[in-house]
Amino acid sequence: MIRLQKILAPTDFSDFSTHALRYGCEFANRFGAELHLLNVIEESLTTPDPLLGSPVPEAEIHDLQHAAESGIEQLPEVSWLDGVNVAARVVQIGSPFVEIVQYAKRNEVDLIVIGTHGRTGLAHAMIGSTAERVIRKAPCPVLTVRPEGHDFIMP
């Protein structure tokens, strides 16, 4: 039997990740699992500009963190929380896929539920998506949720 005790739902506050979060909430409810929310502030937003070399003002970094912390506290929607134990709301700075995978390892997560959407063209071929990288390196199963398709329908 599959036992899910900890589910990680990374979020970038986009519609794609919100859609995936709904799946995470439903799985957490059905399995009686803890739900862990994680937002990763892209490290490049907090490091000096390579051309100008000037450091990013500490106030800007603080504002980014404060906005992310406020945003993650408002997730998920109240109607999705019935029976869901939100065990952690974490904001970190770094490479999103690295931080997601490391968080899953450190916290012995049983399932990662992550939003994805189709990217095409040269950028996708060169760098890939965060979801694809998480799938390759994750220590547990990963459920990717496309923005279109099935939705949960309450009876």
* pLDDT single digits (tens) 10-66: 999 988 899 999 999 999 999 999 999 999 998 877 776 666 666 677 888 889 999
Q: 6-145 has which fold?
A: Rossmann fold (3.40.50)
Structural domain boundaries of the chain?
6-145
Separation CA 28–CA 85 (nearest Å): 8
Residue 146 CB coordination number (10 Å): 14
For residue 21, which of 31, 9, 35, 6 has the smallest C-alpha distance? 9
pTM of the model: 0.86
On whether the CB atoms of residues 112 and 98 are closer than 8 A, the answer is no
Per this entry, what is the length of the chain? 155
CA angle 137, 84, 100 (to 5 degrees): 20
Structure tokens at 122: 């040269």
